[in-house]
Structure 1
Amino acid sequence: MAYPCIKPVEPLTQFISRVAASRGVSLFHYRRHMDIRARYSRREKLYERFSGMSGISEDVLRRHDLVKVGGNVQIFDMTFDLRDVWAKSARVCASCLRDDRLNESGRHEARPHQRFSWMLRVLGRCHKHGSGLVQIGTDYDRFSYGDFSRAVVSGSGTLDALLRDEGDNSCIQASDVYFHQRIEDAATLSQDAARVPGGAGPSGDMLEDLPLPAALLLTEIVGGMKLLGDRYRRRRLGEEVRQAAVVAGFEVTSRGYDGLRDFLKEQDAVHWTNARRGHFKNLYGPLQEFLRTRLEDDDYRDVVSFIAEHAMSAHPLGPEDGFLGSALRRRYHSIRTAEVRHHIHRTTLRGILSTAGVLPPGSDAKADGRVLIDANRLEELVTQWRDRLPTEKAKSALRISGPALRSITRKGLLLKTSTDSETDSKISAASYAQLMELLDELPRGSPAPRMKRLSYVARMVGRSYAEIVSLVVDGVVANAVIDASQSEAFRLDQIFLDAYEVKRAFGTADPPGVTFERAERMLGTTTQTVRRIVEVGLIETFETENPVNRRKQRYFSPEAIDQFKKDYVTLRNFALGRGNIARVKAALTALGITPVLKEKGVATIYKASEIPSDLAVK
């Protein structure tokens, strides 16, 4: 007996059911008698034996077979979620079955064939007649073993009643037409077939580029969010709601990426209306959750990339790092997101930003998630903040005093991370490493008899550590060696030099006067005090060219220094050997002696002529 032709969208089990019906037997008995049972251990044998009987190639039989793999079903080279496939009683279009009966010959129960699209839960209407799909017959034992032809016979009364009432054929949905047609194209391997007659298909390329299962899932979730918002959970809802979601979602996805962009804009507006305080973990609700589980799936790569780029461009702050697996760069950071990104406490971050003067107005009254800072500027500030070395650590590493370290910094051998007063105690770790590399190039060995320690040479020539080390680094003083006999950690005082060579080096370019740095040591006070007494006119300076760098610079004359030391005295220097500074000050006040300079941050200065040399302090 001849075999009927297998239809383009007919699952293999339903085709075998038609063959069995044409022989007048049930599917179960036909399988058993012909030894074409489809248990997993015998599936290859099924293809081989049935191909030999029907003349249909094994490859075609494999493509038409519904194969369960884990939680998925594979058919026509497509993979669907098992829960999306109708696994109970048969669903059919009564008008389609009537056409099958009228247009074919043979046993009437063997003429109709089941379309795979009828088995998808989210497709609720026939794309040709517009009538709703109805259930007929008894429940299937399993979706891949159902005897479809027997179900048609048992449900013929239901079908006849529906046909007499002419059914509900007043609503042909564009989504049903489009997805039914996509299934037929996939089944026939016809990629060039017209998608939707009459131009009812999508205008964009998004759905066309997506595999059918991916396009269907994306459409359903978008439509579900249109209907129910974040409350949409496809696993918990019935077929009617999911079918309505596909219809609603198709209005969005059929317009391609333009439609998806408009949908995302609506979700952006909802996000800010709900005042989620900058929280982006679930920015796009069920859609984001769905795509997050499919980041490794190449089918969704373009859609995921499009949504991630939209989120980064639409929100000033941007989603969290790694949003949907993307590595897109933020335009802005909040203090909260910066704390997570850089692992720096938010209070410290506010201090860094405040010091740099980049905190927006009113930031003190705003929550950390609402303070927005340019991401590039923030990265720059954090890099500078990390590249800092506390002065105490630098002094300990070099074994030098605070004034010596400050002189080295002013000389440019070490760089500050900022010129602001609040960060004045931080120096650049990179410049420290560079200085140590330069000093490490000095030879190591035993110092010659005439060579002295750096500290001794500094006192002998009246120059600072910074000035002498600068000559060594520049190669002006070549006769320098690091004492190799000391095994302890390196310190500046391990450098030995020829004192006379250093003195000659300074003599070739003696400054025309006393520099501010030397004036500090000669007067025994601080830099700020020296600058202030110059500003108030207690000591005179002159400006001339620096013989080393040929730039204009201010100097003191030695006579002016000596005259100042005769005319004035600081409270600290006067109190030396006389007792506590506070008591000395109180005694002077009791005598009615007032200072000529008394300001916060600078030394208190008196006229020497007004202070009795024999002042007694109790």
Structure 2
Amino acid sequence: MVRLAHVPDLAKTEAFQSFLPRLAAVNGAASLQEFRRHFALKSHQSSASKELISEISRLTGISESILDAHQLLNVSGHGQLGHAKLRWSNLHTTSARYCPICVQNDYLSGSDRRDARPWVRGGWYGLNNYVCVEHSVELFTSPIPYSAANRWDFTSHLRENPRELDEAARSAKSHDPLPYDVYFDHRLTRNVESVQLLDPLPYHIAYSLCELLGQMKLLGNSPHTVDAAPARMHDARCVGFDLLADRGKLLQFLDELRGRHLARIKTSSRYHVYGPFQRYLSQLLQTPGARPLIDLVREHAMSALPIGPNDDFIGGGGCRKWHTIRTAKLEYDIDPRLMRKLLIERGLIGDGEAISRDNHILIPADKVQELASYCQDGVDLQYVRETFGILESTARQLVNAGIISPLYGSSKGIKAKFSRTAIDATLRDVLSGLPERNEDGNLISLVDATRLGGRSVSNLIVAILEGRLPTRFLTSRTDRTGFMRLLLDPTEIRAEFVKPVGIKRHEFTAIFRFRPLEGDKFFYSKFFERSRETSPTNHREFDVVTRGSLERFQQVHVSLAALSKGRGRPVDVKNMLNEAGINPVWEIKGRRALTFYKRSEVEEFLRSLA
């Protein structure tokens, strides 16, 4: 097997296409074309065809896998995924592109033939690379294009144009490498500093994102595009890299883009929030490594916009944070008019916002989900009546007593709805576990219990639910439902509802035989103690006079009518007491039964007369 006598070292980022001219030069060939002809390498095929790689492997002893790994697209970072046009559009192969300082240093080092020493770094082909990181100078692009005969032959180009290298070295512009330059140079040599959002992405997609974001940042709201000059494009890529390398800066820029979107007068259900950046991310849905960046951008948008996981926004997914009335209608089938009323009732929007369009009203997603559950669980008062087996008026009394609270509808203009779950649970908690029994004299129904002291069915149900009235049995009658099946003990009903109470105003008036409007002043006088009691029927509070204070008043005082019995006319008795200096403690002119004296003073005076 024929093996070449001289084989130069294959550099780490050297392309197979640029290795061939060095291989030809080190073995004495005048050009790459002559080398291919000499070894009958088919020139009509691609310079990186499998057949050519196989032949070069046979001539050099370098394995085919190593040579194939040094394809131009691989060593320049463009070999990972992507469309062929996308990858080749960024590669400069029409003329020589190099760092003159690197080439001069190559001439001074190495053991190969002198004109075979310079080798083309993979990063020199990429237009996204503008600076030589090793020597801090701008890359030089030769104005002399390759011909069909010397395509890829960098060695021949340097040999035929020696003055170009000298002039390029003298005029090389100093350019300090920026973080963008260092990162993408090191990615080719596998010596990378970690950038969380860019590391998982293919090389050509990573710098394309930098370029796109940088252009958007530099342009702002301008409709123009960034100048395509290499220096301006390099500036844009550096700006974009700074954004993608710092999550805080990226989020700040996304805030700016989102703010522009929210400030638009025109709205639509399709959210084009981040412009070209969003469209490019939508093309990367199947790209391995793009998911962290896509998720970051989507979550940023969803944190302020009513975007759901099923919406076609950069592939969908995520967790919804906001709803509009329109999206709530689509997802939960809530009537928009009812939704507006509920939002006002709960204080989530003001009255002024209620007239806004459906797409303009933003509501937190958890609040909408809560309202949707209320709407699905809500039932009207008729359901309460049928479930509890009571009259509608009784059901309203239970609502007024606070035993049943509406889920919504407490404000004007909304029909009150109650929780089906809570109503069923209330009835189940009371009736579960109770045995059935026929009615007899020892147990009575709720209707009979109202006559015994409960006054109303609602009072009895309230007492049962509050634990003040125990339940014992259920009736076996099938015509009763809900609470009306309960059987109660009369003794327990009397103990709860039949209690001594104070004297009400109308009872007080009847005791002293006051005429209308005469008794209130005496009722509220200092002679009696009063307390507040609550009506078991309408649950309103009222004043009563305690029986003890009334009894004490009657024991300590005596009326003029009682004194006059057997002693003459009341007017004569009154005059006699006045002459003795004994005055009444309470007097209504012309009413001897309502003129009172202290019993002790009067009895002492009468004893003195005897």
In which range does the TM-score fall when normalised by the shorter chain? Answer: 0.5 to 0.7
Distance 2:235 2:413 in 1: 63
Kept in 2, the 8 Å contact 1:93–1:133? The answer is: yes
2:9 counterpart (1, 5, 10)? 5
2:138 counterpart (119, 130, 141)? 130
* Greater Rg over alpha carbons, structure: 2
Distance 2:482 2:25 in 1: 101
Deviations 1:354-376 (A, max 9, x none): 23344336325543444455666
Distance 1:226 1:61 in 2: 41
Q: CA deviation at 1:291?
A: 3.1
Kept in 1, the 8 Å contact 2:324–2:359? The answer is: yes
Distance 1:28 1:51 in 2: 17
1:271: which partner in 2?
261
Distance 2:478 2:262 in 1: 70
1:15 counterpart (19, 40, 44)? 19
Q: TM-score, normalised by structure 1?
A: 0.60
Structure 2 residue 191 is matched with structure 1 residue 190: yes
Structure 2 residue 120 is matched with structure 1 residue 114: yes
Structure 2 residue 393 is matched with structure 1 residue 393: no
Q: Give unmatched runs, 5+ long, in structure 2.
A: 502-519, 524-529, 545-610
Kept in 2, the 8 Å contact 1:252–1:263? The answer is: no
2:238: which partner in 1?
250
Give the % identical residues.
18
Distance 2:148 2:385 in 1: 86
Q: CA deviation at 1:219?
A: 0.9
From the superposition, tell whether residues 367 and 339 of structure 1 become closer, same or farther in structure 2 (CA, over 3 Å): same
From the superposition, tell whether residues 311 and 4 of structure 1 become closer, same or farther in structure 2 (CA, over 3 Å): same
Structure 2 residue 372 is matched with structure 1 residue 420: no
Q: How does 1:420-439 map to 2 (within 5 A)?
A: 420-423=411-414, 425-439=416-430
Kept in 2, the 8 Å contact 1:390–1:425? The answer is: yes
From the superposition, tell whether residues 359 and 187 of structure 1 become closer, same or farther in structure 2 (CA, over 3 Å): closer
2:473: which partner in 1?
480
1:92 counterpart (81, 91, 96)? 96
2:145 counterpart letter in structure 1: I
Q: CA deviation at 1:468?
A: 3.9
Q: CA deviation at 1:306?
A: 5.5
1:15 counterpart letter in structure 2: F
2:307 counterpart (320, 332, 335)? 320
Q: Residue 508 of structure 1: SS of its match in structure 2?
A: helix
Distance 2:403 2:48 in 1: 83
Deviations 1:302-358 (A, max 9, x none): 655655666577xxx44624576675674x765456556655343222111223344
Q: Residue 414 of structure 1: SS of its match in structure 2?
A: coil
1:510: which partner in 2?
497
Distance 1:405 1:343 in 2: 29
Q: Over aligned residues, Cα RMSD in angstroms? A: 5.4
Kept in 1, the 8 Å contact 2:92–2:126? The answer is: no
Kept in 2, the 8 Å contact 1:333–1:374? The answer is: yes
Q: CA deviation at 1:465?
A: 3.7
Q: CA deviation at 1:124?
A: 5.7
2:212: which partner in 1?
221
Q: Residue 254 of structure 1: SS of its match in structure 2?
A: helix
Distance 1:168 1:240 in 2: 26
1:466: which partner in 2?
458
Q: CA deviation at 1:38?
A: 6.9
Kept in 1, the 8 Å contact 2:397–2:458? The answer is: yes
Q: CA deviation at 1:285?
A: 1.1
- The range that moved more, 422-431 or 445-454, is 445-454
From the superposition, tell whether residues 442 and 466 of structure 1 become closer, same or farther in structure 2 (CA, over 3 Å): farther
Q: CA deviation at 1:443?
A: 3.8
2:605: which partner in 1?
none
Distance 1:74 1:475 in 2: 86
Kept in 1, the 8 Å contact 2:130–2:230? The answer is: no
Distance 1:385 1:492 in 2: 24
From the superposition, tell whether residues 353 and 56 of structure 1 become closer, same or farther in structure 2 (CA, over 3 Å): same
Kept in 2, the 8 Å contact 1:444–1:484? The answer is: no
From the superposition, tell whether residues 244 and 348 of structure 1 become closer, same or farther in structure 2 (CA, over 3 Å): farther
Q: How does 1:285-300 map to 2 (within 5 A)?
A: 285-294=275-284, 299-300=289-290
Q: How does 1:218-617 map to 2 (within 5 A)?
A: 218-226=209-217, 240=228, 244-254=232-242, 256-257=245-246, 259-261=249-251, 263-268=253-258, 270-272=260-262, 274-277=264-267, 281-294=271-284, 299-300=289-290, 303-304=293-294, 307=297, 317-318=304-305, 320-322=307-309, 327=318, 330=321, 335=325, 339=329, 343-360=333-350, 362-364=352-354, 366-371=356-361, 384-418=374-408, 419-423=410-414, 425-443=416-434, 445=436, 447=438, 457=448, 461=452, 463-470=455-462, 474=467, 476-481=469-474, 483=476, 491-492=481-482, 495=485, 497=487, 501=489, 503-510=490-497, 544-545=532-533, 554=541
Q: CA deviation at 1:122?
A: 3.4
Deviations 1:533-581 (A, max 9, x none): xxxx9xx9x9634699xxx952699xxxxxxxxxxxxxxxxxxxxxxxx
- The range that moved more, 432-441 or 99-108, is 99-108
**Pairs aligned (count):** 488
Q: Residue 93 of structure 1: SS of its match in structure 2?
A: strand
From the superposition, tell whether residues 266 and 404 of structure 1 become closer, same or farther in structure 2 (CA, over 3 Å): closer
From the superposition, tell whether residues 372 and 210 of structure 1 become closer, same or farther in structure 2 (CA, over 3 Å): same
Q: CA deviation at 1:209?
A: 5.8
